[in-house]
Structure 1
């Protein structure tokens, strides 16, 4: 472990008036920095193992520059901190160390206390930038959110993108506000008591503007991924590639004060090294925390149902603190009436939802028809704080052909039931921007690529994807600006009618979760779940080790009133929320029964 975790060791960095530059280009014979304003070239010296470096006073902050390889290839800096003219333009010199942080008193909350709000910078506000997010932080704090999750902000082609087509992992998207804009946002979040999770992509880079292959063997033909050749984490000369992504992790934590990273689709990372790249990231993160005293979390998106990803590295796990749990979403949506097609085909509804409450994973070794294999393995003692659950997210909304949100797909009553199913689970709850008021604008897939051939390939790919899901009709054009604009949140909705009541209901549920010690504890292994298949109902019993307190949650996913008797061991039940209450514009409560598509929770004691 030879990376100095307390400073950035690659790219262009300012130190007391002079600038150091370091780049990995193992196949180059000569390497230089070329300044745009003068055309001057500053040649680098070979440092060994393919690294080149120099120190110079010829650069000032804001200068545009390119890297010249072998005197004929002029390229942006692969570790650039800013690409103000886009992914095809020159890089810009940025002082990372020049920011005067004022969040020294900030303490990252315990992971079990995270209530996450996922948002897309471009569509969250009218402004579509970091300042637009900052203007809504008071609203998020009042809602009860404790952590925002930003979809990827690494520089991507054009001005609108989900972020997963980023090609400069160190550069913050310029029209969002750049590096300083992101740091100001993080500081504002910490001032309001909000942690910041950043979505990062280490399984692929976007196709347009991706110049990493010009510098070295960043990709390998050894494996294929849905995006082409895999990033080279274990093939010949992979050391510089591994350093590059470890440096990226450390930069977000150290220089941007990001509290947690959400690592996109880690199942698509191919690595058979003795020390997997995720383990290396964990080790370097731990060393950084030890030396700075700040706490950071690593949250993986993974659909392999393999506990090794969240197992401690001392037990040969990959060391992630938590993971997204798509199977909870799939089981919940099928229970709520989602048609069983595509990846929903594997889920039976109420029985699988109960299994996800108990086991986090639905598939723990049984045969999956959709995958055509026996899939997954059981968890051991992993508790709720290691799993992030949701009733919708950017993928599950945006990968519908028309990008319909839950607010337009299910009834008002079912929306309330879905919210409670997530927020009263033993897991880390995540909301997708706008769901708390029942946003009706879609969230569709959009791009702003300049390459016309690539745009056509994206259009074709989307059509084929929806054909596989048996979706009828024509998908919106992902390149059209109107597709992007109609995805912006409608901030006039949460102050009107049913939307205002839905928002108040979400606030109430979040407050209950934060105030009730049983709900806060997140103990999956102390939970019991009972299903009533004929009534299409579920009863969730939340408990806490060492206490006879419990919370009993009754869920009716059917369209008819149902009667469920409370278990004999439950004494002194006190109703704490009823989604059918007129306060939430429900049909009204009826003693001894659950109204259609409703949720009731009781605080009680174990006899």
Structure 2
């Protein structure tokens, strides 16, 4: 039997419009209202009325086929016939994650269209697909972080059935699926939660206005709303894990933090399903508490994004020092991250003008997700330019090698593997003119703080900004993009075949560098990576290379012996004991001519 339940603690009367008739719900305990009959059927549309005001969509609506302001549609998730019986995702410790945005991943921008590109990810060596948020937002196009119907997959992407088909298709190919969820705020348009109850509080200030009510009166039910949402994605859509947006923006002084409660609920669901589930946090706190177990005061999450790794690698490769990059730029910063997890582990940050972070003592590298590019770090540049648009191919190859031989769980951003020339811009589609104008002004102000010319910022409200951000898949098989993709593929295979590269022990990493000469040597067991970041060829002293096999080299002119190696400018080479990771044609290298755009 399916009953309708709604939480509306301040309402004196609640009705539902179902099958063209209005029915009154019965008040229960703690603000809950119930209707046992008539029962909703799969595919029924409905609205709620509160004290004769409305109609309003269901806060837990599973589908908004006409958009977030339209009627909700009842979904019986048991109607879908899954094809992934017995599925188990690869462990996170062995993962290579691929972050993608459904709206720009393909020309069509739908779940079904994304299926047609999955084989390319499998061929590359990807294990986990991470979807940027798919919860319904008010517009046709956007990044998804302004979701308001959190239980309903965005109708422009293909709705619930489209998402299930995509997850099923991933699992058939051995790909796990992670979903980016946003629980620290809701979007500004189509957010009806405040009509129903105290989901928000003005006791805390956030960049988006009132904070989500996680520790005030009625917060038990508010917390349950978000936890049930997480469980729905994992249970009803067969997601293998969630990436939780910006946990540093949660305002929660409860004795049991919301994230700890969430991790406990997901752990119980994992035991029930018999399927491994993971939780990954985005955090700007440099706080190991996120992944420490609750028994020692932690939240019990599985991993968190490593912002220090991205910033250190980006600053070394590009030389940029604006904004938060002012805290980075030396090879010493990158080495500190690789060997200690964070650069800022309690030390003074020039950017923040205070001490930041705390030591990550005892944590394995697998508790961090590292990347060279992601949606934020590309899309929050004034022109959405990727590293392939601001760096030489040789520098990009060095960055890819440092990422994919790092102790962290590596993540790529869509198109990174072939050096996509299409930007990934910030785009919106707000229908309210004043909201659209506020977004324009806000972006210009933000970019001015980074030293970029606000007049050069593409209009996020212009549909052309969105269209420019769509991947051009025909690039992948053309020079120089094809060669770069082969480089990424070779590095991923190397990571798979050499156990030292999947060893998460930071203390096992040995590194030497010369800040002035701009060279870096990293040893991970029998695997040795040598980088020359200078603009001239130079001989780098590394003992024992003559006894190892050259596995990968970004340039053909690599001359090792027992005393060291002569490396061309802007190049990287990798040696190891044992056999080649790329057939019998090693060393694997690209000429500068082939890689030049």
Q: Could you tell me the TM-score, scaled by structure 2's length?
A: 0.94
Picking from 491, 499, 513, the partner of 2:473 is: 491
Within-5 A mapping of 1:149-228: 149-228=130-209
The counterpart of 1:47, out of the listed 19, 28, 36, is 28
1:279 aligns with 2:260: yes
Q: Does the residue aligned with 1:67 lie in a helix, a strand or coil?
A: strand
The 4+ residue runs of structure 1 with deviation greater than 6 A are none
Q: Give 1:135's match in structure 2, choosing from 107, 116, 126.
A: 116
Deviations 1:552-577 (A, max 9, x none): 11122221212211146x78322111
Q: Name the SS for the 1:593 alignment partner.
A: strand
Q: Name the residue aligned to 2:548.
A: 573
Tell me the residue number matched to 2:365.
Answer: 384
Shift of 1:63: 2.4
Q: CA deviation at 1:88?
A: 1.4
Aligned CA RMSD, in angstroms, stands at: 1.4
What SS does the aligned partner of 1:370 have?
coil
Structure 1 contact 155–174 (Cα < 8 Å) conserved: yes
Query: Following the alignment from structure 2 to structure 1, what is the Cα–Cα distance between the partners of residues 477 and 504?
Result: 32
- Matched residue, 2:590: none
Give the 5 Å matches for 1:507-522: 507-522=489-504
Matching of residue 67 in structure 1 with residue 67 in structure 2: no
Aligned partner of 2:592 in structure 1 is none
| Equivalent in the alignment of 2:538 | 562
Distance 1:467 1:534 in 2: 32
Name which of 222, 225, 232 aligns with 1:251.
Answer: 232
Give distance in 1, aligned partners of 2:113 and 2:341: 35
Q: Does the Cα contact within 8 Å between 1:332 and 1:349 map onto a contact in 2?
A: no
Deviation at 1:24, TM superposition (A): 1.2
Deviations 1:97-139 (A, max 9, x none): 2112221121111111110000000000111111111111111
* Cα distance in structure 2, aligned partners of 1:92 and 1:349: 55
**Alignment match, 2:517:** 535
Given the alignment, which residue of 407, 417, 421 partners 1:436?
417
Question: What do residues 513-532 of structure 1 show as CA deviations (whole Å, max 9, x unaligned)?
Answer: 11111112232231122221
Equivalent of 2:282 in 285, 289, 301: 301
* Residues 129 and 178 in structure 2, CA contact (< 8 A), matched pair in contact too: yes
**Corresponding position: 1:265 with 2:241:** no
Contact 1:559 1:597 in 2 (8 A): yes
| Alignment-derived partner of residue 573 in structure 2 | 600
Moved more, 466-475 or 260-269: 466-475
**Rounded Cα–Cα distance in structure 2 between residues aligned with 1:535 and 1:338:** 15
Secondary structure of 1:362 counterpart: coil
Tell me what 2:432 maps to. 451
User: What SS does the aligned partner of 2:183 have?
Assistant: coil
Quick check: 1:253–1:259 contact (8 Å CA) kept in 2?
yes
Give the distance between the partners of 1:350 and 1:42, measured in 2 at CA: 67
Task: Render the CA deviation track for 1:157-210: whole Å, top value 9, x for unaligned.
Answer: 111010001011101000111111111111110100000010000111111111
State the SS of the aligned residue for 2:5. Answer: strand
CA contact (8 A) 2:10 2:197 kept: yes
- Long gaps (5+) in structure 2: 579-597
Distance 1:361 1:53 in 2: 50
Deviates more, 1:121-130 or 1:95-104: 95-104
Q: Which residue of 2 aligns with 1:589?
A: 558
**C-alpha offsets along residues 218-254 of structure 1, whole Å, 9 cap, x if unaligned?**
1111111111111000011111100100101111111
* Aligned counterpart, 1:30: 13
Partner Cα distance (1:181, 1:397) in 2: 27
Pick one of 278, 291, 295 that aligns with 1:310. 291
Counterpart secondary structure, 2:473: coil
Show CA shifts across 1:350-406 (max 9, x none): 110111101121101111111111111111111111111111100000000000011
Q: In 2, Cα distance between the equivalents of 1:47 and 1:556?
A: 69
Correspondence list, 1:324-363, <5 A: 324-363=305-344
Partner residue in 2 for 1:371? 352
Give me the whole-angstrom Cα distance separating, in 2, the residues matched to 1:463 and 1:205.
22
CA contact (8 A) 2:559 2:566 kept: yes
Match of 1:524 among 506, 514, 519: 506
C-alpha distance in 2, partners of 1:388/1:594? 30
Alignment of 1:466-485 (within 5 A): 466-472=447-453, 473-485=455-467
Matches of 1:220 and 1:68, distance apart in 2: 23
Show the counterpart of 1:6.
Answer: none
Residues 54-79 of structure 1: per-residue CA shift (max 9 Å, x gap): 22345333222111111223211011
Q: Confirm or deny: 8 A CA contact 1:381 1:525 kept in the other structure.
A: no
TM-score where L is the length of structure 1:
0.92
C-alpha contact (below 8 Å) 1:328/1:390 kept by paired residues: yes
Specify the alignment match of 1:11 in structure 2.
none
Aligned-partner Cα distance in 2 for 1:87–1:75:
10
Task: Give, in whole Å, the separation in 2 of the partners of 1:512 and 1:387.
Answer: 20
Please state whether the residue corresponding to 2:28 is helix, strand or coil.
Answer: strand
Structure 2 CA distance for partners of 1:63 and 1:338, relative to 1, 3 Å: farther
